[in-house]
Structure 1
């Protein structure tokens, strides 16, 4: 009987121990499950944090934001490279190609007369010294006739001089008559030379006798831009007949620059036309703005002629402007620079989020800005997108409704 009681007690003890073990395992499992749920809930809460939870600290120079929030907000970072001693600003301007004033050639009538023939048409190519128009002028006949008469008188005067010299040698006449004959020959020579120069200026020739037609010739290789006369029209000496352009000379570019861009453009800056190999240089920047567009005209002289560039062609030109500076400068995307109260700044990445840094703007265009600051160092990371959202938080918009970021672990 006593042995049965002992066995029964042993069984009860084993059962109690087993129950205790099962309860302990159940408590341990429940604790683990609860802990995992809390961690998952916390991670989910961090992943689904609203944008308003981004805030700035009390000092106003630090934006508190976690790495996950940076990713959610679409903020992209870039690393500062080495600083440069010379700032090179690249500008892209648009405009048109045009002929330079030196390439314009005006055709004028050398004589008074009637336009007898138009030998070319507008926009036609002409070679140097080729005939463009023919003008019939009675004045040519008068000059040519005067030349023929002077030549005849000159011939008689030379014969007379030879006779007078012969008589002087024989002692028949005095030396004075020889001198008078020489003066007469010299006077005819001067008159003949003057008439020939006048005929040459009028474009005529005395080689073929009397010819009332003079041909107006092209002074250079080029094209006929316009003709202002027609066949049968009477013109006076010096009347403008038309206009040519010297196609051997390079074109110019007339570009438009905004007021913000024009202050970085200087005479002598190198210019390259998109799609062409030739280059040019900035000749002048107009001091005044154009009334309807509020832009400044930039005149560019191309270095050479090229078939890729034609008159009145719309072009896109790249200008490289160099500005020497005594301080270190960095080139950053223009979108990374924010402006507030007249001051420029960028957002530098740190452990708690972003800090604001004031910078000096040395050069800027639509793509790149050149900045300088004593605290800037290579390898610093800064925001290049989402800058406006950071600026809004830094300025205090929405921060008062945001939950405390300090409760979120900032990476």
Structure 2
């Protein structure tokens, strides 16, 4: 009797347990699908859009910042300690190479000029002494040692003269003025700071009457004829970055502006993006350093994925989803974001041509999905 009862109990338990085990994975698979009727869609204002394959071959769109190309910026610094006497340019002024920028009054300049006069005089005397010693040696009056000592003295004086000339050249004096000072000409009281290359003046950091030390920054000059781009690429594209080098870059909304991809940063930023550097090869006059533009980068397989409205993609944790219309309602379909530009995104996932995705009132659908027990 006990045996028959046990068999009956086990049979009833199996009838209850096995359907539950079968239903469990089915419930998990269907957890991201939830019912929404046509009336509910109309009440919530849900709108859908049909998926179409993009035929755009120009590349993905990404944000980029316009920057100066390497070597296109110069700093005008104080050659000697002194006082700013006069500013000859203002910010945003265009200057040419060699154009005066400002004048400085420096006591050190007088000391350098006096030193040049002294060493030039010593050098002349040592050269005359060397000629005399050589003449006496040729007549057999003095030993050769005297000639060698005179040669050493003349060489030392010539080296000191070259050093004094170099110091004045670094201070901003030209070669003609240096020769005049060496011969006893008038002593300069001011230093004229000049532009080394053409460009646009910016960041003037001094005022007349201000005291500066040697090597202090006075102003900055930028050459805007050569610009570059720093393009922000999602790290998901890391495997394709090697195919981009040398590829043409198109600046969207700027007719005739083109660039060329150069290199990619080895590090990923905190925002999980890579920085692709590019040079502007045409139309740089339409851009300004610091502005943010949209560019197209032609990765290999640029047409992969789907172009969807920005508002159609929702986030749940670290994953992205779109809501695909089904016979019963919607299903939350996971996608990978490949690019984002303006009001569109390019995503990759289990989507098909002809499917419809929600593009309006997506937040309401997300609430309904989570209430159903969607992915967490």
Distance 1:249 1:141 in 2: 40
Structure 1 residues 232, 388: CA separation in 2 closer, same or farther (over 3 Å shift)?
closer
Distance 2:79 2:320 in 1: 66
Q: Which of the residues 178, 192, 195 maps onto 1:206?
A: 178
Q: Which of the residues 157, 163, 166 maps onto 1:194?
A: 163
Deviation of 1:388 after TM superposition, in Å, equals 7.3
Distance 1:360 1:88 in 2: 26
Deviations 1:150-205 (A, max 9, x none): 22322222222222222222222211112122122112111111111112122224
Deviation of 1:112 after TM superposition, in Å, equals 2.2
Q: Secondary structure at the match of 2:103?
A: strand
Bigger shift: residues 228-237 or 334-343: 334-343
Q: Please name the residue that 1:221 is paired with.
A: 198
TM-score norm. by structure 2 comes to: 0.62
Q: Which of the residues 185, 199, 219 maps onto 2:154?
A: 185
Q: How big is the alpha-carbon RMSD for the aligned residues of Structure 1 and Structure 2? A: 4.8
Q: Is the 8 Å Cα contact of residues 336 and 383 (structure 1) preserved in structure 2?
A: no
Q: Is the 8 Å Cα contact of residues 343 and 358 (structure 1) preserved in structure 2?
A: no
Distance 1:81 1:174 in 2: 99
Q: Is the 8 Å Cα contact of residues 250 and 295 (structure 2) preserved in structure 1?
A: yes
How many residue pairs match? The answer is 311
- Structure 2 portions without partners, runs of 5+: 1-29, 372-376
Q: Please name the residue that 1:331 is paired with.
A: 306
Q: Secondary structure at the match of 2:123?
A: helix
Structure 1 residues 283, 166: CA separation in 2 closer, same or farther (over 3 Å shift)?
same
Q: Please name the residue that 2:258 is paired with.
A: 278
- Structure 1 portions without partners, runs of 5+: 1-58, 290-294, 398-411
Distance 1:114 1:337 in 2: 61
Structure 1 residues 360, 152: CA separation in 2 closer, same or farther (over 3 Å shift)?
same
Q: Secondary structure at the match of 2:102?
A: strand
**Larger radius of gyration, structure 1 or 2?**
1
Q: Is the 8 Å Cα contact of residues 50 and 357 (structure 2) preserved in structure 1?
A: yes
TM-score norm. by structure 1 comes to: 0.58
Q: Please name the residue that 1:382 is paired with.
A: 355
Distance 2:167 2:195 in 1: 19
Q: Which of the residues 97, 105, 108 maps onto 1:139?
A: 108
Distance 1:63 1:219 in 2: 72
Q: Which of the residues 361, 364, 367 maps onto 2:335?
A: 361
Q: Is the 8 Å Cα contact of residues 115 and 133 (structure 1) preserved in structure 2?
A: yes
1:123 aligns with 2:92: yes
Q: Is the 8 Å Cα contact of residues 338 and 387 (structure 1) preserved in structure 2?
A: no
Deviation of 1:307 after TM superposition, in Å, equals 1.5
Q: Is the 8 Å Cα contact of residues 83 and 330 (structure 1) preserved in structure 2?
A: no
Structure 1 residues 244, 174: CA separation in 2 closer, same or farther (over 3 Å shift)?
same
Distance 2:336 2:155 in 1: 76
